Amino acid sequence: MKKSAFILIAWYFLFVSFYISYFIGLEQPSLTNPLFYLIAIPYFGFGAMVWSVFSGVGIFTFLASVVSSVLWLKKDKIVYLFLLPIVGLLSGGIFRYIAT
């Protein structure tokens, strides 16, 4: 149970980091409650990641994330969970470069 909670948190940060890397400098959505950003940012990050599948960047992102999660389950080293946000930052930046 503890490992799956860590994986969910790491995937949350993967989507957040992909959002930050891709949408930085663009107009952000305005929400009525600041707490809604806890849901909106990963939602938009996931949407951009799905959109990036068509350029090939999303396939790399999903594969790297799944491999990192499986390695975390098998080897139990925290470094594999820290790879998820790093992969999100790198792939979001690469996708922004490709998309523009």
Are the C-beta atoms of residues 14 and 84 closer than 8 Å to each other?
Answer: yes
Indicate the pTM of the whole model.
0.87
* pLDDT for residue 84: 92
Average pLDDT over residues 7-28: 89
Q: Which residue has the higher pLDDT, 11 or 33?
A: 11
Q: Give the Cα separation of 73 and 70 in Å (integer).
A: 5
Domain ranges within the chain, ordered by starting residue = 1-99
Q: Is the pLDDT of residue 25 over 80?
A: no
Q: Give the Cα separation of 99 and 32 in Å (integer).
A: 30
What tens digit of pLDDT does each residue of 37-60 get?
888 889 989 999 999 999 889 999
